[in-house]
Structure 1
């Protein structure tokens, strides 16, 4: 006799809460909850692994003296990864209240004394930090792709970098680094770059003549 098929449940299937996994350092394999918000997309594990290998090489493995600024922190995937690997300080910035509160909760869960969270507009904050003379070794730029924020904020980041500092930029399309370079990208060189799926990612440094 043919078995009756089980009735299909009504409604959408229950999904596990969104999480991000730290892939290296003192909190390796720790899972942190991620706010389910439009446009918030944690940097994939594979990309983070590559990027942090690049950064480790550039820093000469000297994380103890490195200051990081995560300007569109979102899930905190990049900032918490840097903190896990022993960064001296990580400043996470997000202008979305619930996202900032989630970052604070994750910081407290990890007891991450090297992490500070600011709820602020990134463009305004960059100008304020530069005016106060604050400088960073690494700046993470992973803004919402569709808003054109990278073109606005990258030119401002040069004033925030220490000597030999660098910017990690993640975008939904390739940066126009060849041929006629747009003004907002002028004076920058990509020392490393790669692509994973629809994600383009770069490690940028100011060109010597433009630093």
Structure 2
């Protein structure tokens, strides 16, 4: 797995060992960022971050900062190692439950220009209600959300659907504020 574009294009990323984390493939990451458009200067929230590939891609493409959230300790270690090896700044890794972090960030009034959500495949239903309740509250007025899911799942959020595209076994769905 490599960074696709930006200042760290071509640099290798490590993924946590085991079956708990499924890193976003290069092709899907490239497609997601083509759909998102430029992220220069953006504040990014990477939920269910896994290896950190999506947030690292955003930082490499010019995002100002990224908060990586995952409750798996091995995933958080991999993100920290990737950030350190690439010498990326503007990153914070929060190794806690995504829903708890979203509630806290919403209560603090935090806003993000880009929210990346890649919940475990086949588990969208377990997170859809909480994400639908909390993500709009942390999304900047002109913000955008990218959800990666398995190809059979069509994520729904109380935001405007921009597009949804299938890439093999994956689906990328883009939302904006209403």
TM-score norm. by structure 2 comes to 0.92
- Provide structure 1 residue ranges, at least 5 long, that are not aligned to the other structure: 1-19, 177-184
In the alignment, which residue of structure 1 is the partner of 2:22?
Answer: 41
Give the counterpart of 1:197 among 160, 163, 168: 168
In the other structure, the counterpart of 2:66 is 90
- CA 1:205–1:198: 2 relative to 1, 3 Å: same
CA distance in 2, matches of 1:128, 1:196: 33
- Matching residue of 1:175: 154
Larger RCO (CA within 8 A; separation ≥ 6): 2
Question: 2 CA distance for matches of 1:24 and 1:138?
Answer: 17
How far 1:146 sits from its partner (Å)? 2.9
* Residue 53 of structure 2, aligned match among 58, 74, 77: 77
Q: What is the Cα deviation at residue 50 of structure 1? A: 1.6
Larger C-alpha radius of gyration, 1 or 2?
1
Matched, 1:164 2:142: yes
Gaps of 5+ in 2: none
Cα RMSD, aligned residues only: 1.5
Cα 1:83–1:133 change in 2 (3 A) is same
Following superposition, the deviation at residue 189 of structure 1 comes to 2.5
User: How many residue pairs were aligned?
Assistant: 175
1:53 corresponds in structure 2 to 34
Match 1:150 to one of 96, 114, 127? 127
- CA shift for structure 1 position 62: 5.5
Deviates most, 143-152 or 103-112: 143-152
* Partner SS state of residue 168, structure 1: strand
